[in-house]
Every structure is written in structure tokens, then in C-alpha cells.
Structure 1
Amino acid sequence: MSRYGHGGAVVVGDVELAGGQWFPPHRHTVHQLVWSRKGVGSVRIDESTWFLPRTLALWIPAGVEHATGAIDPSWNRSPYFLPERCPIGWPEPTVVAVTPLLAALIDHLADFGLGPGERVRAEAVVFDLLRPLEAVTIPLPMPSDVRAARVAAALLANPADGRTLAEWGREAGASARTLRRVFLAETGLSFGRWRTHARLRAAMPVLATGHPVAAAARRAGYGSASAFVAAFHRTVGVPPGTYFGGGTDNPARRG
């Protein structure tokens, strides 16, 4: 990171990714804001995955191991921040809404021909514009019990499968009571909540690529867009239009 000269705090790195391409888990000594200038990026940290259209970015604190990838062909334009020169110290991965002004400033800071004064002034505005979106990720820990893992894998392959736990039990060779106990003990989630997380996770890439809510609801196995929106809001903390609209409810995304 030799380009942090003249008192600057931010370096912008450009990486192009093919659809489905991933960088293996790694960590940085600096903070990173993962942002896709084009396409939809994705970040995995532990058991959580974020899907990031152009209107969203993810703040990753220095030292946090993560893997980055892309749903479709993407151009990642990610700012990196020197911790000792950055006034922001969020300790956890944090979703940030990328407004048109913030996007323009990131593009501006990608010009390494900027003078020291120009760079410092632009960086100060970027710091002011980094505001967290009040939303949570959707963890999806996997059970290790062979019977529960078989059910989990089937639901990941087809999240719209609406079989009851008793029906799954007959296929997996365990009672509904046993599966219920195993899911809670090994994932920290009830079976119903785990399935909701799996469904919402399956819908995230659909929403991130700009498809309407109705399409995401069908992918996730919900009977109506309104039921899907309610489940998304309860779990994530904001409705999908707010999350994928960069902080503003976008009726066009409702389908």
C-alpha cells in the first residue's frame, strides 16, 4: 500500500471478477469497503454471506478473515483505509448504503494523479458519507448430524420444498422431535427459523441482481410477495426495497 502518501488515508483498488469467481479467505492489515462498481459482489465471513449490488458496500475491519466473490461478472472498486488515519473504527462487518455522491467520490479517489490537498478533502467527505444501514446478515450454520445435514442439504438445493419436519424425518430416518432437537442444538436455530434463513439466503442473489420481489418470493418458496417481504423484514430488520435500494424503499423492486 505504498500509495498512502502525502497524509492520505484511502487507496482504491480495482479488481474484475468473472461470475461465480471467488478469492479464497484472506485478511488485510487495513480496513476495506467492498463495493462493486458494476455487477453484484458477495462476501463470506464465518457463517454469514452478504450480496452487494451497486447500492451497497460492506465495511470489513482490519484483520477480519473474509472471502470475496461475484454473482455475475463484476468490477470491484474497493477503498482501503489506513486504520491510524481513519476516523471510523467499526469493529464488526457493517453494511453501508452507497449513495451517488459516495460512488462518485470513490471514483474520484481512484485517480492517483490527485494532489495531496484534493485527496485529503475528498477523503474527509467520504468519511462523512459512510453511514451504516440498520440491517443484519442472515447466518446459516450447518448441522453436523448426518440426518439433519441431509435435510439441510436438500433444502439448500430446493428452498421452496415445503415438506413438514415429520415428512423430512421419514426420509432422513429420524423422528420430527429428534430433528427439531438436533437443529436447535447444532445450529442455534429452530428448524423453522433455519428454513426461513435458507429461503431468504436463496432469494438474496435474485434481489441483488435487480429482479422483482415476486421473483425472489417464488425462488424462496413463499406463496406471495407480501409474505416474503414480511419474513425478510422480520429477519434482516428492513424491507428488501430498503436494503437493496441503498436505504430508500424502491417500489420497482416489489414486483
Structure 2
Amino acid sequence: MADEKTIGLERFEMARGQSFRHHVHGEHQLAWASTGVVTVDIQDRCWVLPPHLALWIPGGVRHATAALRESVLQGVYLDPVSCPLAWPRPTVLAVSPLARHLIGYLAGELAPGVRTHAEAVLLEVLRPADGAVFELPLPADPRAREAAALLLEDPADQRGLAELAYAVGSSARTLLRLFLADTGLTFTQWRTHARLQAALAHLAEGEPVGRVAERVGYATPSAFVAAFRRVTGCTPAAYFARSRERADRAA
């Protein structure tokens, strides 16, 4: 990173399923997909990030990133010494239209004074995003983690607890206990949250609710909308409208 820069940027064009395995770097990072949808896995949590959301990753935190769709991942790297932002934990941020524009602007060649001003404005407009279904707790036990991976890979998987337990070499009772102990959610609750996480990626790309419901394992759109409302307190349309309103206000 050049001496005059507080913020460095890298652009990664990622194919569906492409990933960066767990790694650590000293800078704080803002992981943001300008197009597509990416996931970030940190220890016992997983985040799904459509383009109106980014994840603040503190320096020194081990993480992995993957593309759920063909995506452009923007890595925004911030010098911990000179950066005034210092959220101590991974934090979801709203990406306002102004923030989006500034990130693109900073990717170009700028005079030092102009860059300094643009960086300062970007840091001022970055704000945590409120809302539900941003992060998903992951179980630590290898058997439960394997079952979780099966459901994350195919949210529409209709196998019940007993069938999944058999697939990972466990019993239904043990798997039920592990999910509750490791994630704080029952297996059924965790599966619902996983499905809604997956749904966010499709909804962010403008897919119809009926198609999204089918993709993530719901028999009817109404059943999907009811589950979404139970967890987030609103319908999918209202959820995205609210998220974008917050991002716009941050501008």
C-alpha cells in the first residue's frame, strides 16, 4: 500500500463456487461484492453478503470467502494505524450508493490530496447495518458441521434429522443435542435460518419469491414468506426496502 494511502483496494472476479481459503492479514478488511453474492466464514459464523451489504473483518481475524454466484469481490483494506474505524468484531455494514461510488472512485489514480479527502468521506459514511439473518452460527462438532455443510450446499435438501444423522455417522438425538449446544438454535431453527440466508442471495438478484421459495426448500411461496416474517419481522420485499433505505440514509 502506498505511503499516502489509508485505504488499499483489490478487485477479484470470482466464478460461481470459487473461494479463498482461510487466511489472515494485518489490515482491517471490508469484504464487499459489487456484483453477485459472496459468503464469508469466520470461526463459528457465516455471513451471506449481497451488494448492499459488506462485512468489516478486523485485522488478524482468520476468514474465508466464497462466491455463491459469478461475482466481483472488492477487497477494501484499511491500515489499522491510521484508520479511525475500529470495530473489534466482524460487523455487517450498509453499502450506500455514495459508499459504492467512493470505492469505485478510489480504485482509480488520484492525486494524494484528492485521495485523502475521498478516503475520509468513505470512512464517514460506513455504518453498521441493522437487521436479521445476516449471520449464521456454525456448529463446531465435526458431525454437526458436516450436516450443516450438506444443508448449506443444498438448502432444498428435504432429508430429515434422522437421515442426515445417518449420512454423517451420528444419531438423531446426538445431532439434535450438538446443534443446540454449538449454535444456540434447535436443528429446525438452524435449518430455517440457513434457508433464509440462501434466500437472501437469490432475492438480492431480483428472483421472484415463488422461485426462491422452491430453491430453498419451501413447498409454497406463502410458507416461505411466513418463515421469513417470523425470523426478520417483515416480508422479503419490506426487508430489502428497509435495508436500502438505511443505506441511502447513510449517504
Q: Does the aligned pair in 1 maintain the 2:138–2:145 contact within 8 Å?
A: no
Asked whether the equivalents of residues 40 and 46 of structure 2 are also in contact (C-alpha less than 8 Å), the reply is yes
Question: Is contact 1:45-1:65 (8 Å) kept?
Answer: yes
Q: What amino acid is the match of 1:58?
A: L
Structure 2 runs not aligned, ≥5 long: 246-251
Superposition deviation, residue 45 in structure 1? 1.2
Q: Which segments of 5 or more consecutive residues in structure 1 lack a partner in the other structure?
A: 250-255
Instruction: Pick the aligned partner of 2:135 from 128, 134, 137.
Output: 137
- Tell me the percent identity: 49
**1:86–1:19 distance in 2 versus 1, CA, 3 Å:** same
Residues 15/245 of structure 1: CA separation in 2 closer, same or farther (3 Å cut): farther
How many equivalent residue pairs? 243
Residue 48 of structure 2 corresponds to which residue in structure 1?
A: 51
Asked whether the 8 Å contact 1:207–1:213 carries over to 2, the reply is: yes
Question: Compared with structure 1, are the counterparts of its residues 38 and 219 closer, same or farther at alpha carbon in structure 2 (3 Å cutoff)?
Answer: closer
- Rounded to whole Å, the distance in 2 between the matches of 1:35 and 1:182 is 32
1:222 matched to 2:218? The reply is yes
Aligned counterpart, 1:32: 29
Map of 2:113 onto structure 1: 117
Larger Rg: 1
1:206-236 deviations in Å (ceiling 9; x for gaps): 2343323332222233344454345345546
Shift of 1:131: 0.8
SS of 2:138's equivalent in the other structure is: coil
Letter in 1 for 2:7: V
TM-score normalised over the length of structure 2: 0.78
In structure 2, C-alpha distance between the alignment counterparts of 1:26 and 1:108, rounded to whole Å: 28
Q: TM-score, normalised by structure 1?
A: 0.77
After TM superposition, give the deviation of residue 165 of structure 1 in Å. 5.5
SS of the residue aligned with 1:72?
coil
SS in 2 for 1:50: strand
How far is the alpha carbon of 1:103 from its aligned partner?
1.0
Identify the residue that residue 249 of structure 2 maps to in structure 1: none
Q: Give the strand-richer structure, 1 or 2.
A: 2
Letter paired with 1:248? R
User: Is 1:96–1:131's contact at 8 Å kept on the other side of the alignment?
Assistant: yes
Structure 1 window deviating more from structure 2 (236-245 vs 43-52): it is 236-245
Alpha-carbon contact 1:13-1:78 (below 8 Å) kept: yes
In structure 1, the residue matched to 2:72 is: 75
Q: Once structures 1 and 2 are overlaid, which stretch shifts more, 162-171 or 10-19?
A: 162-171
Partner of 1:85: 82
Cα distance in 1 for residues equivalent to 2:169 and 2:22: 36
Contact residue 138 and residue 235 of structure 1 kept, 8 A? no
**Quick one: distance in 1 between partners of 2:74 and 2:117?**
20
Deviation of 1:15 after TM superposition, in Å, equals: 1.9
Q: Give the structure 2 partner of residue 253 of structure 1.
A: none
